[in-house]
Amino acid sequence: MKKHLKIFLVFSLISFSSFVNAKEVPPSFADLAEKLMPSVVNIFTTTKITSRSNNFPFEFPPGSPFEDMFRDFGTPEERKASALGSGFIIDEKGLVVTNNHVIQGADDIFVKTDAGVVFDAKVVGTDSAMDLAVLQIESDQKFKPVKFGNSDKARIGDWVIAIGNPLNLGGTVTAGIISAKNRGIGMNRYEDFIQTDASINQGNSGGPLFNMNGEVIGINTAIYGQSGSIGIGFAIPSNSAQRVVEQLIEFGETKRGWLGVKILTVNKEIADAEKLDRPRGALVDSVADGSPSDKAGIKSGDIILEFDGKLINKMRQLPKIVAETNVGKKVNVKIWRNKREINKEIILGR
């Protein structure tokens, strides 16, 4: 009995030791942070806003019809509004990736490096649908870039660090783990966010989320609520962002694939009624006349189960997959119609 107990204890200790080693907590993030900080920038913008002052010695109550009537009689006043965000350098010539909302509508854009040097920057291209922008630092200086990593290989529980400009504090490093993947929070139709508990606050927008190899696996974009970090932040996965960034650099805009359908979620009632094994796919609610789907014979009531070899388990996966497919490509689409699976070929539009 004692022999068996000893064997069990030794086996347990070996198993526990292996588990600890496999999940070892980094002793420090200092070396990694020191290596990456020169590639992360603070972004400042200014925007001119013209408003009219009230020349009358009284105020109209909110909602009063006289408020709009007399607004044009005020004296024009111009003021500058400022905003801040973060970004990261992806090319030694000074190409910077950030969020579109950080620089949208800005008259002037400034980039401040970790060394404290401020440069003017111009817009190379923007994509409001995925909230991404590419800037060019106006300088002949060579910069230290970082590389995109493979966000598909990132796992829930992996360590990550975020670097950015929260609350205009600049050069701030926070650490955490990947809390979840494939999150949708209702910001846009292409969202597929990485959720992290690394502290993210206002001003972190556009900054990088790094894995432990120093690769960018996400672009910090949103926080839960408006009061600041509560351990729930969201980042655009690098695999989705990189394709958009490449197109912005090449064309100054994004060229997305287009099916021309309005889709709905397939719930249990619909799946049961259509004799589908489980709720999956995207239900076609309507088809635009003359669209690629219309030309291919897709009809209202069809359920799209697979697109170009990729399974559609949830409705919101389809817009993202279609958007990432090259315009003009001929793709095979599996649909569920009349309680059986059929195939259609679609040439993607833009």
Each residue of 60-87: pLDDT tens digit? 555 555 555 555 556 666 777 778 899 9
The lowest-confidence range among 162-176, 202-216, 221-235 is: 221-235
Q: Which of 13-17, 34-38, 128-132 has the highest mean pLDDT?
A: 34-38
Distance of CA 237 to the CA centre of its chain: 6
Mean pLDDT of 3-9: 44
Structure-model confidence comparison of residues 74 and 196, the more confident one: 196
CATH number of 30-49+79-254: 2.40.10.120
CA-CA distance, 233 to 329, in Å (whole number)? Answer: 35
Q: pLDDT-based confidence at 12, cuts 50/70/90?
A: very low
The whole-number pLDDT of residue 324 equals 84
pTM for this model (two decimals): 0.78
The whole-number pLDDT of residue 307 equals 94
Question: What are the sequence ranges of the domains in the chain?
Answer: 30-49+79-254, 261-347
Structure-model confidence comparison of residues 62 and 230, the more confident one: 230
> Across the strands, what pairs with 335?
304, 342
CA-CA distance, 310 to 307, in Å (whole number)? Answer: 5
Superfamily (CATH) of domain 261-347: PDZ domain (2.30.42.10)
Output the furthest CA–CA distance in the chain (Å, rounded): 97
- Whether residue 349 is predicted with pLDDT greater than 60 in this model: the reply is yes
The catalytic residue positions are 101, 131, 205
The whole-number pLDDT of residue 69 equals 56
Identify the burial level of 333 via C-beta atoms within 10 angstroms of its C-beta, where 0-12 means exposed, 13-18 middle and 19 or more buried.
Answer: buried
Interior/surface letters 148-171, b for 16+ CB within 10 angstroms, e for the rest:
bbebeebeeeebbbbbbbbeeebb
Mean pLDDT of 141-160: 96
Tokens of 65: 């019809």
Beta strand extents in 23-74 (DSSP E only): 40-53
Is the separation of the CB atoms in 123 and 138 below 8 Å?
no
